[in-house]
Amino acid sequence: MSRQKIILLGATGSIGLSTVDLISKNSERYDVVCVVANRNAEGLAKAARRVQARHAVLNDETELDTLADLLKGSGITVSGGRQAVLDQCAEPVDLVVSGMVGAAGLEPNLAAIGAGSDLALANKESLVCAGKLVLDAVKRNNVRLLPVDSEHNAVFQVFERSNADHIEKVIITASGGPFRHASKERMRAATPADALKHPNWEMGARITIDSATMMNKAFEVIETLHLFPLKPSQIEVVVHPQSIVHGMVQYSDGSLLAQMGPADMRVPIAHCLGHPERLSVDAQRLDLATLGQLTFEAPDAQRFPSMRLVWDVIDKGDGAGAAFNAADEMAVSAFLKERIGFLDIVSVVEDALGQMEARNLLSQPSSIAEVLHIDGEARRIASDIISTI
């Protein structure tokens, strides 16, 4: 069997490291053409060596010399800069694993799709900002879009496309994060350290804060709509604190098919890497008798207004999605720097959306340039709002 050619974006992050682990344990299957990170030279050098990549790219060139030094004698070549990232993504390979964080992942993902490479997508922001453009490109280039996000990967595993007419609804689960039962007062006083304590998953800072505000689940509702042929009214979010059931599909005969697994991203990533085959993963096996109980509850849109905002964003389309994500990126970053409080995060996003709408800046983007324009305007407006807090 010839080895599958892979590009790994975000190789130093949480998704990236889980992917590195799987690839290094299945090295006979994969030939890593390139690994990419932002500026973490040490982490990238380590990842490149572990997967025996041919090439390593840093988006930010500041630490490029360090990367070159760290990889001296390894035979792994290096390059730097945004254009180098895009050039690598434009090289056709079998699969690009997209584990970059933020809207910065959109153009590399589109370059990969344009090159005819299949995409294993963790970077949900691309779908939130520009779902229609991404999906159109996927269709045009006839590539596979495999969902890495655990909820979407779960739904993907139990979604019978041949019976799509018989699907009543899709349910994605949310852990509820560290403030599942916290009062508004408690949330108002929450520090970055409090919000970064996710009860079940170990993830990058941005998605961990987004889990605490449930913005992450709002993004995932939008992601679900792009990945599966559904109407908004067919998507439900349910809080499931154990994070064992990740996604479910309800059929017209009353069957509810669920995918379950440990809270270990290597499981959905392996599903994408191996698809349509299964890989062996040394993840923990579920012991249901020990687990005892699986519980489910409705999300509280009162304490988590992201769960209310998302439906309006969906109504307005991808322009609103791009602003929703960009304002959140700014607000999360300000919260992590202790510039604003925890409850301010979603308020900043809501306020920025309102101002964008009032200025007619939320129209459906028909090109990447338009998405980037909306993204830039939303960042500017969010930053102004943050400076007044």
Ligand X SMILES: NC(=O)c1ccc[n+]([C@@H]2O[C@H](COP(=O)([O-])OP(=O)(O)OC[C@H]3O[C@@H](n4cnc5c(N)ncnc54)[C@H](OP(=O)(O)O)[C@@H]3O)[C@@H](O)[C@H]2O)c1
Residues lying near ligand X in the complex (CB under 6 A) are found at 10-16, 36-40, 43, 59, 85, 99-102, 104, 122-125, 149, 201, 203-204, 207, 265
Identify each DSSP E strand in 286-340 by its residue range.
none
**Rounded CA separation 189/213 (Å):** 14
Q: Which of 147, 112, 143 minimizes the C-alpha distance to 127?
A: 147
For residue 249 the two structure tokens come to 């599909």
For residue 276 the two structure tokens come to 């349509």
C-alpha dist (Å) from residue 325 to 19, 152, 315, 318, 348: 25, 19, 15, 10, 12
Nearer to ligand X by Cβ, of 7 and 143: the residue is: 7
User: Is 383 assigned a ligand-binding role in the annotation?
Assistant: no
User: Is 77 assigned a ligand-binding role in the annotation?
Assistant: no
C-alpha dist (Å) from residue 146 to 98, 138, 174, 189, 220: 10, 11, 20, 39, 15
| Least distance to ligand X, CB of residue 277, Å | 22
Q: Which of 134, 109, 96, 94 minimizes the C-alpha distance to 19?
A: 96
| Least distance to ligand X, CB of residue 265, Å | 4
Nearer to ligand X by Cβ, of 122 and 130: the residue is: 122
Task: Give the orientation angle of helix 368-387 with respect to helix 344-358, to 10 degrees.
Answer: 120
| Least distance to ligand X, CB of residue 208, Å | 8
| Least distance to ligand X, CB of residue 261, Å | 13
User: Is 15 assigned a ligand-binding role in the annotation?
Assistant: yes
User: Is 300 assigned a ligand-binding role in the annotation?
Assistant: no
Nearer to ligand X by Cβ, of 98 and 355: the residue is: 98
Residue nearest to ligand X (CB): 13
Nearer to ligand X by Cβ, of 167 and 172: the residue is: 172
Sequence-ordered list of residues with C-beta below 8 angstroms from that of 102, at least 6 positions apart, any chain:
123, 125, 206, 325, 329
Nearer to ligand X by Cβ, of 200 and 251: the residue is: 200
User: Is 150 assigned a ligand-binding role in the annotation?
Assistant: yes
| Least distance to ligand X, CB of residue 18, Å | 7
User: Is 149 assigned a ligand-binding role in the annotation?
Assistant: yes
Tell me how far apart the terminal alpha carbons of the chain are, to the nearest angstrom: 59
**Rounded CA separation 62/81 (Å):** 9
| Least distance to ligand X, CB of residue 241, Å | 17
User: Is 175 assigned a ligand-binding role in the annotation?
Assistant: yes
For residue 298 the two structure tokens come to 């409705």
**Binding-site residue positions:** 12-15, 39-40, 123-125, 149-151, 175, 198, 204, 211, 216-217, 220
**Binding-site residue positions for 1-deoxy-D-xylulose 5-phosphate:** 124, 150-151, 175, 198, 211, 216-217, 220
